Amino acid sequence: MKKDNSAQGSNVWANLATSPNNSGFAKKGTYPTDPNGVDVMLEQWDAGTEEPPHSHPGDDMTVVIEGSMSVRFYKMSGDTLVPDGPELVLNKGDSGYIKAGRVHDAKYTEACKLVYVHAGAFGFIAAS
């Protein structure tokens, strides 16, 4: 029997819920079984969608299953957010790690399917 390891051959991507705040984004969450564990989400982003600069309360990891995305980091200069280093591009098969509190954005240059893992309870903190 031939195994199908592609994302399209898996029911794990079925029944994602569309986000009311971003029509280009859909996800499926996990069950909270370990208070010291992680939140894991399956995310699907349409090409051309993006997230504004923000941070998370825990370290996180993103694995790109399909598509391509970019991440840019920021730091404060006075009262202004300024880019901090080059843009990071993640393609199918790549993974990226971001420390808790590190301000970053995300841009989905191609339609993406991602596995997102967040240490502790997920949180989204908009940068000002």
Asked if the model's pLDDT at residue 11 lies above 80, the reply is: no
The residue written with tokens 């790549």 in the block is: 94
Q: What is the mean pLDDT of the chain?
A: 86
Distance CA 56, CA 58 (A): 6
Nearest to 72 by CA among 92, 96, 48: 96
Query: What ranges do the domains of the chain cover?
Result: 23-126
**pLDDT given at position 5:** 42
pLDDT for residue 10: 55
Average pLDDT of the segment spanning 102-126: 94
Contact present, 127 and 77 (Cβ < 8 Å): no
Residue pair 48/24 in contact by the 8 Å Cβ criterion: yes
Domain 23-126, CATH: 2.60.120.10
List, for residues 80-108, the tens digit of each pLDDT value: 999 999 999 999 999 999 999 999 999 99
Query: To the nearest whole percent, how much of the chain has pLDDT over 70?
Result: 82
pLDDT in the model for residue 15: 73
Phi, psi of 93 (to 5 degrees): 95, -15
Greatest CA span in the chain, whole angstroms? 61
* Span of 8-17, 29-38, 65-74 with lowest mean pLDDT: 8-17
